[in-house]
A and B are shown apart, each in its own frame.
Chain A
Amino acid sequence: MLSLGVVLALAIGVYAQRALGALFLRTENLPDAARRVLDKLPLAIIAAVVALTTVTAGGDLTIDARLAGVAAAGLCAWRKLPMLVAVVAAAVVTALVRATVGG
Protein backbone atom coordinates (compact mmCIF):
# COMPACT_ATOMS: atom_id res chain seq x y z
CA MET A 1 0.00 0.00 0.00
CA LEU A 2 1.30 3.43 -0.94
CA SER A 3 0.66 6.40 1.34
CA LEU A 4 0.74 10.05 0.31
CA GLY A 5 4.05 10.65 2.12
CA VAL A 6 5.71 7.70 0.39
CA VAL A 7 4.47 8.88 -3.00
CA LEU A 8 5.85 12.39 -2.33
CA ALA A 9 9.23 10.97 -1.34
CA LEU A 10 9.30 8.80 -4.45
CA ALA A 11 8.26 11.72 -6.68
CA ILE A 12 11.01 14.01 -5.36
CA GLY A 13 13.72 11.39 -5.81
CA VAL A 14 12.58 10.37 -9.27
CA TYR A 15 12.30 13.93 -10.57
CA ALA A 16 15.60 14.97 -8.98
CA GLN A 17 17.39 12.23 -10.90
CA ARG A 18 15.69 13.14 -14.18
CA ALA A 19 16.54 16.83 -13.71
CA LEU A 20 20.12 15.98 -12.76
CA GLY A 21 20.55 14.16 -16.05
CA ALA A 22 18.90 16.84 -18.19
CA LEU A 23 20.37 19.93 -16.50
CA PHE A 24 23.71 19.30 -14.87
CA LEU A 25 25.47 16.60 -16.81
CA ARG A 26 27.13 18.94 -19.32
CA THR A 27 26.95 16.89 -22.46
CA GLU A 28 27.32 19.54 -25.24
CA ASN A 29 31.09 19.41 -25.69
CA LEU A 30 31.46 15.76 -24.91
CA PRO A 31 34.38 13.88 -26.44
CA ASP A 32 33.34 11.45 -29.15
CA ALA A 33 34.07 8.40 -26.99
CA ALA A 34 31.74 9.57 -24.20
CA ARG A 35 29.03 10.35 -26.74
CA ARG A 36 29.30 6.84 -28.15
CA VAL A 37 28.85 5.32 -24.69
CA LEU A 38 25.92 7.63 -23.87
CA ASP A 39 24.22 6.70 -27.18
CA LYS A 40 24.43 2.98 -26.32
CA LEU A 41 23.25 3.46 -22.73
CA PRO A 42 19.52 3.11 -23.48
CA LEU A 43 20.22 -0.13 -25.38
CA ALA A 44 22.12 -1.65 -22.44
CA ILE A 45 19.51 -0.65 -19.87
CA ILE A 46 16.54 -1.66 -22.03
CA ALA A 47 18.10 -5.08 -22.72
CA ALA A 48 18.43 -5.54 -18.95
CA VAL A 49 14.87 -4.32 -18.33
CA VAL A 50 13.53 -6.75 -20.97
CA ALA A 51 15.34 -9.64 -19.28
CA LEU A 52 14.25 -8.59 -15.79
CA THR A 53 10.59 -8.09 -16.68
CA THR A 54 10.47 -11.35 -18.66
CA VAL A 55 12.15 -13.94 -16.44
CA THR A 56 12.13 -12.53 -12.91
CA ALA A 57 9.36 -11.98 -10.37
CA GLY A 58 9.83 -10.27 -7.02
CA GLY A 59 13.62 -10.35 -7.34
CA ASP A 60 13.87 -14.06 -8.20
CA LEU A 61 14.52 -15.78 -11.51
CA THR A 62 11.17 -17.19 -12.65
CA ILE A 63 10.38 -18.87 -15.97
CA ASP A 64 6.69 -18.57 -16.80
CA ALA A 65 4.29 -17.80 -19.66
CA ARG A 66 5.77 -14.32 -20.17
CA LEU A 67 8.86 -15.87 -21.76
CA ALA A 68 6.74 -17.46 -24.52
CA GLY A 69 4.94 -14.17 -25.12
CA VAL A 70 8.13 -12.11 -25.35
CA ALA A 71 9.67 -14.76 -27.63
CA ALA A 72 6.64 -14.38 -29.89
CA ALA A 73 7.24 -10.62 -29.97
CA GLY A 74 10.88 -11.25 -30.89
CA LEU A 75 9.78 -13.53 -33.73
CA CYS A 76 7.46 -10.80 -35.03
CA ALA A 77 10.27 -8.22 -34.85
CA TRP A 78 12.56 -10.60 -36.73
CA ARG A 79 9.92 -11.02 -39.45
CA LYS A 80 9.70 -7.18 -39.55
CA LEU A 81 5.99 -7.20 -38.64
CA PRO A 82 4.48 -3.97 -37.25
CA MET A 83 5.16 -3.30 -33.59
CA LEU A 84 1.47 -3.46 -32.74
CA VAL A 85 1.28 -7.01 -34.10
CA ALA A 86 4.28 -7.98 -31.96
CA VAL A 87 2.75 -6.48 -28.83
CA VAL A 88 -0.65 -8.13 -29.34
CA ALA A 89 1.08 -11.46 -30.13
CA ALA A 90 2.98 -11.18 -26.83
CA ALA A 91 -0.22 -10.71 -24.83
CA VAL A 92 -2.17 -13.43 -26.68
CA VAL A 93 0.61 -16.05 -26.50
CA THR A 94 1.21 -15.33 -22.82
CA ALA A 95 -2.50 -15.63 -22.05
CA LEU A 96 -2.82 -18.89 -24.05
CA VAL A 97 0.23 -20.50 -22.43
CA ARG A 98 -0.99 -19.37 -19.02
CA ALA A 99 -4.48 -20.77 -19.64
CA THR A 100 -3.23 -24.14 -20.96
CA VAL A 101 -0.01 -24.94 -19.05
CA GLY A 102 -0.29 -22.42 -16.25
CA GLY A 103 2.44 -20.06 -14.96
Chain B
Amino acid sequence: MIDRLRNWALPPGALFSLDEGLSLAFAYFTVGTTVTILHVTQGTGWLPMLGVIFVVNSVTPGLAYVAVVESGGSSTAGVLSGWLVSSRFGLFAAAIAPYLWPSMWRRAGAAHLAFDPNVALGLREPDEVDKRRVFLAAGWWMILPWWVGGVLGIIIGSNLGDPNTLGLDAIFPAVMLVIVWPQLRERDGLTIGLVALITALALVEITPGGVPALAAACAALLALRPPLPSVSDEAGA
Protein backbone atom coordinates (compact mmCIF):
# COMPACT_ATOMS: atom_id res chain seq x y z
CA MET B 1 0.00 0.00 0.00
CA ILE B 2 2.71 2.44 1.09
CA ASP B 3 4.92 1.19 -1.74
CA ARG B 4 2.13 1.78 -4.25
CA LEU B 5 1.61 5.29 -2.93
CA ARG B 6 5.34 5.98 -3.13
CA ASN B 7 5.60 4.62 -6.68
CA TRP B 8 2.66 6.75 -7.65
CA ALA B 9 3.93 9.97 -6.04
CA LEU B 10 7.52 9.50 -7.28
CA PRO B 11 7.41 7.19 -10.33
CA PRO B 12 10.48 4.89 -10.11
CA GLY B 13 13.09 5.53 -12.79
CA ALA B 14 11.71 8.98 -13.61
CA LEU B 15 13.75 12.19 -13.36
CA PHE B 16 11.13 13.74 -11.04
CA SER B 17 12.60 13.85 -7.52
CA LEU B 18 11.41 14.19 -3.93
CA ASP B 19 13.20 17.55 -3.73
CA GLU B 20 11.12 18.84 -6.64
CA GLY B 21 7.91 17.45 -5.17
CA LEU B 22 8.57 19.14 -1.81
CA SER B 23 9.48 22.44 -3.50
CA LEU B 24 6.26 22.41 -5.51
CA ALA B 25 4.28 21.58 -2.38
CA PHE B 26 5.93 24.40 -0.42
CA ALA B 27 5.48 26.93 -3.23
CA TYR B 28 1.83 26.15 -3.95
CA PHE B 29 0.97 25.95 -0.27
CA THR B 30 2.31 29.48 0.29
CA VAL B 31 0.78 30.82 -2.93
CA GLY B 32 -2.60 29.30 -1.96
CA THR B 33 -2.44 30.81 1.53
CA THR B 34 -1.21 34.29 0.61
CA VAL B 35 -3.52 34.83 -2.37
CA THR B 36 -6.53 33.64 -0.39
CA ILE B 37 -5.64 36.02 2.45
CA LEU B 38 -5.34 38.81 -0.14
CA HIS B 39 -8.83 38.12 -1.54
CA VAL B 40 -10.45 37.58 1.86
CA THR B 41 -9.06 40.84 3.24
CA GLN B 42 -10.55 42.58 0.18
CA GLY B 43 -14.00 41.35 1.16
CA THR B 44 -14.43 38.12 -0.81
CA GLY B 45 -16.68 35.69 1.10
CA TRP B 46 -15.68 32.13 2.02
CA LEU B 47 -18.00 30.47 -0.50
CA PRO B 48 -16.66 32.27 -3.64
CA MET B 49 -13.18 31.74 -2.20
CA LEU B 50 -13.71 27.97 -1.98
CA GLY B 51 -14.90 28.16 -5.60
CA VAL B 52 -11.64 29.83 -6.63
CA ILE B 53 -9.58 27.21 -4.81
CA PHE B 54 -11.36 24.03 -5.92
CA VAL B 55 -13.36 24.81 -9.07
CA VAL B 56 -11.38 27.49 -10.89
CA ASN B 57 -8.30 25.62 -9.59
CA SER B 58 -5.98 28.46 -10.50
CA VAL B 59 -4.89 31.65 -8.82
CA THR B 60 -4.30 34.07 -11.70
CA PRO B 61 -7.86 34.46 -13.09
CA GLY B 62 -9.15 35.79 -9.75
CA LEU B 63 -6.21 38.20 -9.42
CA ALA B 64 -6.69 39.42 -13.00
CA TYR B 65 -10.39 40.02 -12.35
CA VAL B 66 -9.65 42.06 -9.24
CA ALA B 67 -6.89 44.03 -11.01
CA VAL B 68 -9.25 45.06 -13.81
CA VAL B 69 -12.25 45.87 -11.62
CA GLU B 70 -10.15 47.81 -9.05
CA SER B 71 -8.74 49.96 -11.85
CA GLY B 72 -12.25 50.93 -12.98
CA GLY B 73 -13.07 48.18 -15.48
CA SER B 74 -16.50 46.50 -15.73
CA SER B 75 -17.00 43.02 -14.30
CA THR B 76 -17.41 41.71 -17.88
CA ALA B 77 -13.97 43.07 -18.72
CA GLY B 78 -12.70 41.53 -15.49
CA VAL B 79 -14.03 38.07 -16.36
CA LEU B 80 -12.68 38.29 -19.92
CA SER B 81 -9.28 39.21 -18.55
CA GLY B 82 -9.48 36.27 -16.11
CA TRP B 83 -10.18 33.92 -19.04
CA LEU B 84 -7.37 35.44 -21.05
CA VAL B 85 -4.72 34.95 -18.35
CA SER B 86 -5.73 31.29 -18.05
CA SER B 87 -5.64 30.59 -21.78
CA ARG B 88 -2.13 29.26 -21.29
CA PHE B 89 -3.62 26.25 -19.47
CA GLY B 90 -5.31 25.20 -22.73
CA LEU B 91 -1.92 25.20 -24.42
CA PHE B 92 -0.38 23.26 -21.53
CA ALA B 93 -3.22 20.71 -21.69
CA ALA B 94 -2.61 20.34 -25.44
CA ALA B 95 1.14 19.89 -24.88
CA ILE B 96 0.63 16.94 -22.50
CA ALA B 97 -2.46 15.54 -24.29
CA PRO B 98 -0.57 13.19 -26.67
CA TYR B 99 0.75 11.31 -23.62
CA LEU B 100 -2.59 10.95 -21.80
CA TRP B 101 -5.03 8.02 -22.12
CA PRO B 102 -7.31 7.56 -25.15
CA SER B 103 -10.42 7.75 -22.93
CA MET B 104 -12.16 11.13 -23.28
CA TRP B 105 -13.46 10.98 -19.68
CA ARG B 106 -10.04 10.46 -18.16
CA ARG B 107 -8.61 13.22 -20.37
CA ALA B 108 -11.42 15.53 -19.28
CA GLY B 109 -10.51 14.84 -15.65
CA ALA B 110 -6.78 15.30 -16.22
CA ALA B 111 -7.45 18.62 -18.00
CA HIS B 112 -8.44 20.10 -14.63
CA LEU B 113 -4.89 19.36 -13.42
CA ALA B 114 -3.08 21.15 -16.27
CA PHE B 115 -0.74 23.71 -14.69
CA ASP B 116 2.57 25.20 -15.76
CA PRO B 117 5.11 23.20 -13.70
CA ASN B 118 3.60 19.72 -13.88
CA VAL B 119 3.26 19.80 -17.67
CA ALA B 120 6.84 21.08 -17.99
CA LEU B 121 8.14 18.39 -15.60
CA GLY B 122 6.12 15.70 -17.38
CA LEU B 123 7.45 16.66 -20.80
CA ARG B 124 11.01 16.58 -19.43
CA GLU B 125 10.81 12.79 -18.94
CA PRO B 126 12.44 10.85 -21.79
CA ASP B 127 10.02 7.91 -21.38
CA GLU B 128 6.51 8.33 -22.84
CA VAL B 129 4.68 6.61 -19.97
CA ASP B 130 6.73 8.56 -17.41
CA LYS B 131 5.58 11.81 -19.05
CA ARG B 132 2.00 11.04 -17.99
CA ARG B 133 2.96 9.57 -14.62
CA VAL B 134 5.07 12.60 -13.67
CA PHE B 135 2.45 15.04 -15.00
CA LEU B 136 -0.09 13.48 -12.61
CA ALA B 137 2.30 13.00 -9.68
CA ALA B 138 3.70 16.54 -9.88
CA GLY B 139 0.11 17.77 -10.32
CA TRP B 140 -0.94 16.29 -6.97
CA TRP B 141 2.27 17.46 -5.27
CA MET B 142 1.08 20.97 -6.16
CA ILE B 143 -2.67 20.77 -5.94
CA LEU B 144 -3.16 19.13 -2.53
CA PRO B 145 -0.97 21.72 -0.73
CA TRP B 146 -2.65 24.47 -2.75
CA TRP B 147 -6.08 23.29 -1.59
CA VAL B 148 -4.93 22.98 2.03
CA GLY B 149 -3.13 26.35 1.89
CA GLY B 150 -6.18 28.03 0.36
CA VAL B 151 -8.51 26.75 3.07
CA LEU B 152 -5.97 27.81 5.71
CA GLY B 153 -5.85 31.26 4.11
CA ILE B 154 -9.61 31.62 4.51
CA ILE B 155 -9.33 30.67 8.18
CA ILE B 156 -6.40 32.99 8.89
CA GLY B 157 -8.15 35.80 7.01
CA SER B 158 -6.87 39.17 8.01
CA ASN B 159 -4.99 38.07 11.14
CA LEU B 160 -1.64 37.93 9.37
CA GLY B 161 -0.30 41.33 8.32
CA ASP B 162 1.13 41.68 4.81
CA PRO B 163 2.41 38.23 3.73
CA ASN B 164 4.71 39.94 1.22
CA THR B 165 6.98 41.25 4.00
CA LEU B 166 8.10 37.61 4.23
CA GLY B 167 9.18 37.67 0.58
CA LEU B 168 6.55 35.10 -0.37
CA ASP B 169 5.71 36.87 -3.63
CA ALA B 170 9.13 35.86 -5.01
CA ILE B 171 8.46 32.14 -4.50
CA PHE B 172 6.26 31.63 -7.54
CA PRO B 173 8.70 33.08 -10.12
CA ALA B 174 11.60 31.33 -8.32
CA VAL B 175 10.00 27.89 -8.71
CA MET B 176 9.22 28.53 -12.36
CA LEU B 177 12.77 29.71 -13.05
CA VAL B 178 14.32 26.64 -11.42
CA ILE B 179 12.01 24.35 -13.41
CA VAL B 180 13.02 25.76 -16.81
CA TRP B 181 16.68 26.24 -15.87
CA PRO B 182 17.97 23.00 -17.51
CA GLN B 183 16.23 23.96 -20.78
CA LEU B 184 17.84 27.41 -20.68
CA ARG B 185 21.24 25.75 -20.86
CA GLU B 186 20.50 24.47 -24.38
CA ARG B 187 21.04 26.75 -27.38
CA ASP B 188 17.42 26.68 -28.59
CA GLY B 189 16.06 26.83 -25.06
CA LEU B 190 17.99 29.96 -24.12
CA THR B 191 16.96 31.75 -27.32
CA ILE B 192 13.29 30.81 -26.88
CA GLY B 193 13.34 31.81 -23.21
CA LEU B 194 14.94 35.19 -23.86
CA VAL B 195 12.66 36.01 -26.80
CA ALA B 196 9.62 35.09 -24.69
CA LEU B 197 10.85 37.20 -21.75
CA ILE B 198 11.51 40.28 -23.90
CA THR B 199 8.18 39.91 -25.73
CA ALA B 200 6.23 39.70 -22.48
CA LEU B 201 7.94 42.69 -20.87
CA ALA B 202 7.62 44.78 -24.04
CA LEU B 203 3.86 44.20 -24.16
CA VAL B 204 2.94 44.31 -20.46
CA GLU B 205 2.10 48.01 -20.24
CA ILE B 206 0.30 48.32 -23.58
CA THR B 207 -1.89 45.21 -23.76
CA PRO B 208 -4.54 43.75 -21.42
CA GLY B 209 -3.53 41.06 -18.88
CA GLY B 210 -2.87 37.65 -20.42
CA VAL B 211 -1.84 38.97 -23.84
CA PRO B 212 1.89 39.31 -22.97
CA ALA B 213 2.19 35.64 -21.92
CA LEU B 214 0.18 34.46 -24.95
CA ALA B 215 2.26 36.53 -27.37
CA ALA B 216 5.41 35.21 -25.71
CA ALA B 217 4.18 31.67 -26.47
CA CYS B 218 4.98 32.41 -30.14
CA ALA B 219 8.67 32.20 -29.20
CA ALA B 220 8.20 28.40 -29.24
CA LEU B 221 8.03 28.69 -33.05
CA LEU B 222 11.81 29.18 -32.92
CA ALA B 223 11.99 25.40 -32.35
CA LEU B 224 11.31 25.14 -36.11
CA ARG B 225 14.73 26.57 -36.93
CA PRO B 226 16.90 24.05 -38.74
CA PRO B 227 19.69 22.64 -36.57
CA LEU B 228 23.08 24.38 -36.83
CA PRO B 229 24.86 23.10 -39.95
CA SER B 230 27.71 20.87 -38.88
CA VAL B 231 31.27 21.53 -40.05
CA SER B 232 31.19 18.69 -42.57
CA ASP B 233 28.00 20.10 -44.17
CA GLU B 234 29.68 23.43 -44.72
CA ALA B 235 32.77 21.79 -46.10
CA GLY B 236 30.60 19.88 -48.57
CA ALA B 237 28.81 23.04 -49.74
Contacts and interface: CB of A to CB of B under 8 A. Distances in A.
Interface of A: 1-4, 6-11, 13-15, 17-23, 25, 27-28, 30, 33, 35-56, 58-61, 65-66, 69-70, 72-74, 76-78, 82-84, 86-87, 89-96, 98-99
Interface stretch (B3-11, B143-151, B179-187): B179-187
23 contacts: A2-B65, A14-B89, A17-B87, A18-B112, A20-B93, A22-B107, A25-B94, A28-B98, A39-B95, A44-B195, A45-B213, A46-B117, A46-B120, A47-B184, A47-B219, A60-B204, A66-B169, A69-B170, A73-B173, A73-B174, A83-B20, A86-B177, A94-B167
Interface stretch (B48-56, B153-161, B228-236): B48-56
Interface of B: 19-20, 22-23, 26-27, 30, 39, 42-45, 47-49, 51-52, 55-58, 61-62, 65-67, 71, 75, 78-79, 82-83, 86-98, 100, 104, 107-108, 110-112, 114, 116-117, 119-120, 123, 164-181, 183-184, 188-189, 192-197, 199-201, 204-205, 209, 212-213, 216-224
B111 A21 contact: yes
Contacts of A11: 51, 55-56
A10 to B, nearest CB: 5
Contacts of A1: 39, 42-44, 66
A22 B219 contact: no
A44 B88 CA distance: 11
Given A17-B86, A42-B95, A53-B172, A7 B52 contact: yes
A21 B224 contact: no
Contacts of A39: 95, 123, 223
A15 B89 CA distance: 9
Contacts of A59: 67, 204-205, 209
B224 A37 contact: yes
B3 to A, nearest CB: 24
A21 B201 contact: no
Contact of B107 (A23, A55, A87): A23
B111 A90 contact: no
Nearest to A33: B224
B108 A56 contact: no
Given A40-B223, A48-B199, A83-B23, A17 B83 contact: yes
Contact of B91 (A21, A47, A93, A96): A21
A22 B135 CA distance: 13
